[in-house]
């Protein structure tokens, strides 16, 4: 039985969807570009059963994949839950069986298995495609293979035994020059362990290099960055311990006394060649892009000055307030003797932690960073909605060469989600293509998908769903050449 009446936050637009859907030939406005041939996949958390304990956090909820399939100027929609082991077991039991976020000790005795925390993943974070295979990922478990046409869950994979970690990041990176994929898993050998497993897959999906190493202290390692010569893994701020989990708490707390850290790993080196650079209290949850220039490794990323997680208790106490979060350039000098990195604020405009680039420039010199942010000069009724206050009303394109911000406003009652960059077929110039991203419209109780011409940042079309849709974590566009699309 599903009883959500105790969940004050899950009302109206934010009630879980709990249905699967197909919409043939979606309603659209404007002109859907005819040469768009591919699919925009999204992963969103959507509780099948209410959380238990009731204050468990949204990051823990069931994964749901949706897809907007574009071809010839029309769009079809499909949405399906990811059939994880956890999802199937709850469905059979008709109730919530799993406890706090990443704390298996709080699970129902019938499913409790702290030695194999990957069995409780919800695969709710990022759609990933490599070597023609689509995955639903989450950093606490193995990737789940998904049929790119039916969204049927095929199941978790350890890549035929080649993946030597319990978990796999939700943010692997693909080298646009070689087609290789770099990915890591942390807490790789068990709950709270300091072990990280890092591997590079060739363009066919075979593991060609692997590393095993320890982080300075166990922390959330959410994203990574890739240059032609280095892998960068940022971490820090979040802390955990087996004692904490035995006490029945959620996985992370925030410790403002801890330094941020960044592992810089030479792609052609060994684990002993890793350099750990330290910085002040920071949260670098996502990265924008990075490059290696001689003896300098340069990372551009949104960075928060303090705890960005409203759900994770601050060990220093006090009420949560959203910290400043801006785009920064963080530089690692490989010639330096000390292990400090330097940081410069690139743009003062506060942004959300979601940034994207034209992935054809990943790891290379580049110019544009795409963001979602709240433009305070635009009329916005969404901002006064308590659950939309930290949302965004605009997509933006920062030009890191000129400092210019070009923006596209999503509407007075809309809350925008992470934009993805879609290259124009046949083009190679950076930024030639579209931005595509969802806009939630609580005023009409429906989700909309915006398609924006990236060079001009002018909206060209919208896809309108006849229902609301959960707040996504990440979205990704894969062209018809990247996945076997029907």
In the complex, the residues that contact ligand V55 under the rule CB under 6 A are 45, 59, 124-125, 138-139, 222, 285, 473
Residue 163 or residue 312: which is nearer to ligand V55 going by CB?
Answer: 312
Residue nearest to ligand V55 (CB): 59
- Min dist CB 139 to ligand V55, Å, is 6
Q: Give the residue among 49, 80, 78 at the shortest CA–CA distance from 154.
A: 80
- Closest separation between CB of residue 83 and ligand V55, Å? 18
Least CB distance to ligand V55 at residue 188 (A):
16
Give the residue with the Cβ less far from ligand V55, 137 or 292.
Answer: 137
Rounded (to 5) percent helix, strand, coil in the chain = 5, 40, 55
Nearer Cβ to ligand V55 (331/387): 387
List the one residue out of 123, 99, 121, 97 whose CA is nearest residue 111: 97
CB of 228 to ligand V55, least distance (A): 27
Is 149 or 387 the residue whose CB approaches ligand V55 more closely? 387
Establish how many alpha carbons lie within 13 A of residue 217's alpha carbon, considering only the half-sphere containing its beta carbon.
Answer: 15
Distance CA 370, CA 354 (A): 9
Which residue, 102 or 360, has its beta carbon nearer to ligand V55? 102
Nearest to 40 by CA among 381, 450, 456: 450
Query: Closest distance between ligand V55 and the C-beta of residue 115, in Å?
Result: 20
Strands 446-453 and 433-441 turn out to be antiparallel
Q: Three-class SS of residue 398?
A: strand
Instruction: Closer to ligand V55 by CB, 291 or 356: give it.
Output: 356
User: Considering the complex, what minimum distance in angstroms separates the CB of residue 103 from ligand V55?
Assistant: 12
Least distance from ligand V55 to the Cβ atom of residue 311, Å = 10
Cβ-based nearer residue to ligand V55, 46 or 459: 46
Q: Which residues of 244-358 form beta strands (DSSP E)?
A: 253-254, 260-266, 275-279, 289-293, 296-304, 325-333, 342-345, 355-356
Q: Measured between alpha carbons, how far is residue 20 from residues 74, 78, 347 in Å? A: 21, 8, 41
Q: Are 282 and 260 in contact (CB under 8 A)?
A: yes
């Amino acid at each position: 039985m599903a009883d959500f009446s105790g969940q004050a936050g899950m009302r109206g637009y934010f009630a879980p969807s709990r249905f699967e859907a197909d919409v043939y030939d979606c309603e659209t406005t404007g002109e859907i570009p005819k040469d768009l041939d591919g699919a925009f996949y999204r992963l969103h958390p959507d509780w099948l059963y209410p959380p238990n304990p009731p204050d468990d956090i949204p990051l823990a909820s069931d994964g749901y994949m949706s897809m907007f399939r574009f071809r010839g100027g029309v769009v079809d929609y499909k949405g399906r839950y990811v059939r994880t082991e956890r999802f199937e077991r709850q469905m059979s039991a008709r109730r919530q069986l799993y406890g706090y976020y990443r704390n298996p000790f709080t699970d129902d005795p019938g499913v409790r298995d702290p030695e194999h925390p990957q069995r409780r993943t919800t695969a709710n974070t990022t759609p990933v495609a490599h070597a023609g295979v689509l995955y639903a990922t989450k950093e606490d478990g193995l990737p789940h293979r998904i049929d790119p046409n039916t969204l049927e869950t095929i199941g978790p994979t350890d890549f035929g035994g080649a993946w030597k970690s319990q978990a796999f990041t939700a943010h692997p990176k693909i080298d646009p020059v070689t087609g290789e994929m770099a990915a890591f898993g942390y807490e790789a050998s068990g709950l709270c362990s300091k072990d990280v497993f890092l591997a590079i897959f060739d363009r066919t999906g075979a593991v060609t290099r692997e590393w095993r190493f320890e982080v300075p202290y166990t922390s959330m390692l959410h994203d990574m960055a890739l240059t032609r010569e280095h892998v960068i893994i940022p971490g820090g701020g979040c802390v955990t311990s087996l004692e904490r989990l035995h006490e029945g708490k959620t996985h992370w707390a925030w410790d403002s006394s801890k330094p941020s850290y960044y592992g810089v790993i030479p792609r052609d080196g060994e684990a002993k060649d890793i350099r750990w650079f330290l910085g002040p209290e920071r949260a670098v949850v996502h990265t924008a892009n990075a490059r290696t220039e001689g003896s300098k490794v340069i990372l551009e990323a949104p960075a928060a000055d303090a705890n960005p997680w409203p759900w994770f208790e601050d060990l220093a106490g006090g009420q949560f307030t959203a910290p400043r979060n801006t785009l920064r350039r963080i530089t690692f000098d490989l010639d330096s003797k000390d292990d400090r990195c330097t940081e410069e604020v690139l743009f003062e405009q506060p942004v959300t932690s979601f940034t994207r680039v034209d992935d054809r420039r990943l790891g290379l010199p580049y110019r544009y960073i795409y963001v979602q942010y709240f433009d305070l000069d635009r009329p916005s009724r969404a901002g006064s909605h308590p659950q939309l206050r930290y949302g965004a009303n605009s997509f933006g394109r920062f030009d890191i060469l000129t400092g210019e911000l070009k923006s596209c406003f999503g509407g007075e009652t809309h809350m925008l989600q992470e934009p993805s960059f879609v290259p124009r077929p046949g083009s190679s110039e950076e930024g030639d293509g579209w931005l595509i991203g969802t806009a939630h419209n609580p005023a009409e109780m429906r989700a909309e998908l915006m398609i924006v011409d990236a060079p001009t940042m002018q909206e060209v079309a919208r896809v309108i769903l006849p229902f609301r849709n959960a707040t996504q974590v990440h979205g990704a566009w894969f062209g018809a050449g990247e996945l076997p699309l029907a």
